């Protein structure tokens, strides 16, 4: 039995600003555009969307180099 452990990384290939949305999209197996829209809507609605994005940009490591 193979138990694959998923790890959250910032994307090196699917990035617009820092790769956070691309990495979350890969991790959750959904389109990264939806993640970007969520961050924008959350920030514009008075939520901490921008702050959460910046914190994730600092905390989440960048993905391994493609081989």
The two three-digit tokens of residue 25, written as one number: 């999209």
Distances (CA, A) of 37 to 40, 49, 53, 64, 66: 5, 10, 12, 26, 27
Q: Report residue 57's pLDDT band, with 50, 70 and 90 as the boundaries.
A: very high
Tens digits of per-residue pLDDT, 15-50?
888 889 999 999 999 999 999 999 899 989 988 888
Is the CB of residue 63 less than 8 Å from the CB of residue 20? no
C-alpha to C-alpha distance for 34 and 11, rounded to whole angstroms: 15
User: Is the per-residue pLDDT at 2 higher than 70?
Assistant: no
Q: Structural domain boundaries of the chain?
A: 20-59
Contacts of 54 (CB under 8 A, 6+ apart): none
User: Is the per-residue pLDDT at 58 higher than 90?
Assistant: yes
User: Is the per-residue pLDDT at 1 higher than 70?
Assistant: no
């Amino acid at each position: 039995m193979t138990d694959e452990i998923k790890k959250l990384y910032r994307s090196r290939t699917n990035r617009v600003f820092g790769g956070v949305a691309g990495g979350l999209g890969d991790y959750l197996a959904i389109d990264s555009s939806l993640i970007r829209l969520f961050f924008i809507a959350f920030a514009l609605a008075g939520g901490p969307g921008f702050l959460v994005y910046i914190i994730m940009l600092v905390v989440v490591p960048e993905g391994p180099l493609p081989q």
